[in-house]
Amino acid sequence: MRISHAWAAVALACMIGQASASVPAQPAHDLTEADLSAWLDGMMPLALGRGDIAGAVVVVVKDGHVLVEKGYGTADVKSGKPVDPARTLFRPGSISKLFTWTAVMQLVERKKLDLDADVNTYLDFRIPRTFGEPVTLRDLMTHRSGFEETIKRLFAVDPKRMRPLGEGLKAWVPDEIFPPGETPAYSNYGAALAGYIVERVSGEKFEDYVAHHIFVPLGMTHSTFVQPLPKSLAPDMSSGYDKASGEAQKFELIWMAPAGGLSATGDDIAKFMLAHLGGGTGILKPETVKLMHSEIYQRNPPLPGIGLGFYHEDTNGHVIVGHGGDTILFHSDLHLITDAGVGLFVSQNSAGKDNSRIRGPLFRAFMDRYFPAPAMPAEPTLASAKTDGALVAGTYESSRRSESSFFRVASQDSKVSLNDDGTLSVADLDGLNGEPRRWREVRPFVWREVGGMHLLIAKRVDGKVVEIASDISPQIFTLTPSRFWSSGVWNVPLLIATFAMLLLSVVFWPVKAVLRWRYKSPFPLKGRAATVYRMTRVAALIDLVFIGGFFGALTYGGLHLEFFDSTSDWIFLSLEVLGVIAILGTIFPLYELRLALADPGRPWWTKLTDALLALAALAVVWFAFSLNFVNFHLNY
């Protein structure tokens, strides 16, 4: 999931005034078709234009019927085809998981599945008990399976390379990095595994089961998990864009379909929302829906918890469950305000400028306009703010990460900073204007967003902060203090310095040779010393290509996720082989340093250069092992 703050968000914030704060300036507006339509019509076109987004769909249901469903912009820029909420298909991404979880609960109702049974009971391959405890469907639905993050084969380019669901799941089972049932760590693999269990137990392919048992009963005639799209639906599929000003991209193929492969219209999503708001009409029993929407797991009270598949987004005093979804091109949100009988779905068909998002600001503005927060009593800042803030300040890592493969490098630190006025700032939790939010301590180790309603809390054990969390993000992952060895605080500067030293050594090698030739200056080294000098530069070149190649490939893949497929295995395998050569080649800069230190005739600056180059070579060895660049693990 990519997160940023850009033009569309700024446009919404400017138009609605209260988008960044939950405390309303005026009483609630009546949620009527006329008021909502006028409000959306005044907001959405400007947001799309400023965000360079081609089109979007917005659907709101209320009291058992569709209140408003509207398309904005175009489904295809070239032809100018408008978005039709009843016909234009969007890709809701991970909102697909709600259909998977609904399918699971249908089979639970029929006594074919047990939420607390070992998932191996239903599989034709085994999930290892790394920590001695089994993974259950309840663990999968609350994202507490303990699986590490995966990215390989999530997206594909060639339909011929799409593998059957079970075949892909069996090819590699991600490592469990946490005991099952304990630590939330959002998992696409876990959702796909649940979809395969539906397939195994029902005897129907996953996409057929959902069609027969959810789409047909609800009359969702313009929805499918089939990829590529059936011929009957393909003409209605919205094009997807990086930016509306760019070219339309290919239909995104998502191998782990139960985790994100749905294609659907806004009108069909409305029918799904109405079913869940109406007690499961047509697809589930009321008590099952109530269980799915309840807080099954609340890790950090008072922050909202997670239900069975739905996560809580309780806002302005209202109980809200929902889910977000992102493909590379499409970005969507679904919210069910269960205590008001209202549902909101929004989806955009472009990433937009700087990966613009309209969904977050739209939801916040919608809540503040129609369901504003009650007046809050004054909360003075605690006198302990600076002292407690100092204990929280530092870097934190997410539980949603990879550990066993080279994709470990994708893990990022979130930095918490203590400001001069005693407030905190958290990287990655910026406001709608792109500026850091500030948080002031209002209760012991509980911080309130300055000018807003969001909370940030810190959990302590024996006086030490062991975790932080905020209701800005659903509780589907944790942030814990970064382990020293993996912390970017020193690893990133070391990486930059290493790369710079290697680059300078490689660049100045031929430069110095040319200068010696130009001024007819003899090479100062002879025999073994000359050979070691040259081999040291060769080793530096190999190190540079090895490290630079990995980061180059991963950067490209971050922009083109379909790159992370088995077709790229030869690239990563070649880099890993090069890494082995680089590690073995470390002997040359170390030997070069030994010769330099033993030679009284060498100038001090050459000895310093040799020492820095030897340290850079050792740093390459460190990164090779700490980032799993040489473990020949081509599943990630």
Q: Please indicate, yes or no, if residue 636 is contained in any of the structural domains.
A: no
Q: Does 539 have pLDDT greater than 60? A: yes
* Phi, then psi, of 84 in degrees rounded to 5: -115, 115
- Asked if 400 contacts 460 with a C-beta cutoff of 8 angstroms, the reply is no
Percent of all residues in the chain with a pLDDT value above 70, rounded to a whole number: 95
Query: Side chain identity at 567, as an amino acid letter?
Result: T
Q: Does some domain include residue 598? A: yes
Q: For residue 6, is pLDDT > 80?
A: no
State the angle between helix axes of 488-518 and 527-559 in degrees (0 to 180), rounded to the nearest 10: 130
pLDDT of 468 higher than 70? yes
**pLDDT above 90 coverage of the chain, percent:** 78
- Please give the DSSP secondary-structure letter assigned to residue 176: B
Domain-embedded: residue 377: no
The CATH number for 104's domain is 3.40.710.10
pLDDT score of 561: 82
Q: Does residue 23 have a pLDDT over 80?
A: no
Domain match, 280 and 169 both: yes
| Residue 451 banded pLDDT, cuts 50, 70, 90 | confident
Nearby residues of 89 by Cβ (< 8 Å), 6 or more positions away: 222, 223, 229, 233, 236, 237, 238, 263, 264, 265
Question: Residue 19: its pLDDT value, please?
Answer: 34
Q: What is the mean pLDDT of the chain?
A: 92
Q: What is the 3-state secondary structure (H, E, C) of 187-238?
A: CHHHHHHHHHHHHHHHCCCHHHHHHHHHHHHHCCCCEECCCCCCCCCHHHEC
Amino acid occupying residue 617: A
**One domain for residues 17 and 144:** yes
Q: What does the pLDDT read at residue 435?
A: 76
3-state secondary structure 75-143: EECCCCEECCCCCCEECCHHHHHHHHHHHHHHHHHCCCCCCCCEHHHHCCCCCCCCCCCCCEHHHHHCC
pLDDT per position as a tens digit, 298-316:
999 899 999 999 999 999 9
Residue 432 — pLDDT band, cuts 50, 70, 90?
Answer: low
pLDDT of 287 above 90: yes
**Which residues are registered as beta bridge partners of 74?**
82
Q: For 536-548, what is the mean pLDDT?
A: 96
Compute the average pLDDT of residues 554-561: 86
Q: Which residues pair with 322 in a beta bridge?
A: 311, 335
Residue 25: is its pLDDT beyond 50? no
327 and 410 housed in the same domain = no
Question: How confident is the model at residue 79, as a pLDDT?
Answer: 97
Three-point CA angle 175, 181, 184, nearest 5° = 75
Amino acid at 357: R
Q: How confident is the model at residue 1 (pLDDT cuts 50, 70, 90)?
A: very low
- Domain check: are 556 and 435 in the same one? no
User: Which of residues 466, 482, 498 is at a domain's end?
Assistant: 482
Q: How far, in Å, CA of 333 to CA of 335, rounded?
A: 7
Within this chain, do residues 342 and 447 fall inside the same structural domain, yes or no?
Answer: no
The answer to whether residue 8 scores a pLDDT higher than 60 is no
Greater pLDDT, 222 or 600: 222
Least confident among 134-138, 263-267, 528-532: 528-532
200 and 322 housed in the same domain: yes
What is residue 411's predicted lDDT score, i.e. its pLDDT? 83
| Range of the structural domain that residue 540 is part of | 487-626
Q: Check if the beta carbon of residue 592 is closer than 8 Å to that of residue 532.
A: yes
Give 19 or 581, the one with higher predicted confidence. Answer: 581
Within-domain flag for 378? no
Give residue 26's pLDDT band: very low, low, confident or very high (50, 70, 90). low
Strand partners, 436: 430
Tell me whether residue 512 is in a domain. Answer: yes
Give the separation between CA 70 and CA 87, rounded to whole angstroms.
Answer: 11
Looking at the structure, do residues 444 and 529 belong to the same domain, yes or no? no
Residues 305, 395, single domain; the answer is no
* Residue 7, both tokens: 């033009």
Identify whether residues 527 and 397 lie together within a single domain. no
pLDDT tens, residue by residue, 481-505: 999 988 888 999 999 999 999 999 9
Mean pLDDT of 57-66: 98
- Confidence label for 21 from pLDDT (cuts 50, 70 and 90): very low
Per-residue pLDDT, averaged over 448-460, amounts to: 93
Which of residues 440, 458, 482 is at a domain's end?
Answer: 482
Alpha-carbon span 190 to 146, nearest angstrom: 9
- Residue 152, in any domain of the structure: yes
Where residue 358 falls among pLDDT bands split at 50, 70, 90? confident
Domain contains 632: no
Q: Determine the pLDDT at residue 96.
A: 98
**Domain co-membership, 618 together with 514:** yes
State whether 535 and 444 are in the same domain.
no
Domain count, the chain: 3
Pair 320, 427 in one domain: no
Beta carbons of 538 and 585 less than 8 angstroms apart? yes
pLDDT tens per residue, range 139-175:
999 999 999 999 888 888 788 878 899 998 999 999 9
Last residue of a domain, one of 461, 482, 503: 482
Mean pLDDT of all residues in 524-540: 93
Domain assignment of residue 97, yes or no: yes
Is residue 408 within 8 Å of residue 377, measured between CB atoms?
A: no
Helix (H) or strand (E) segment spanning residue 368: helix 359-370
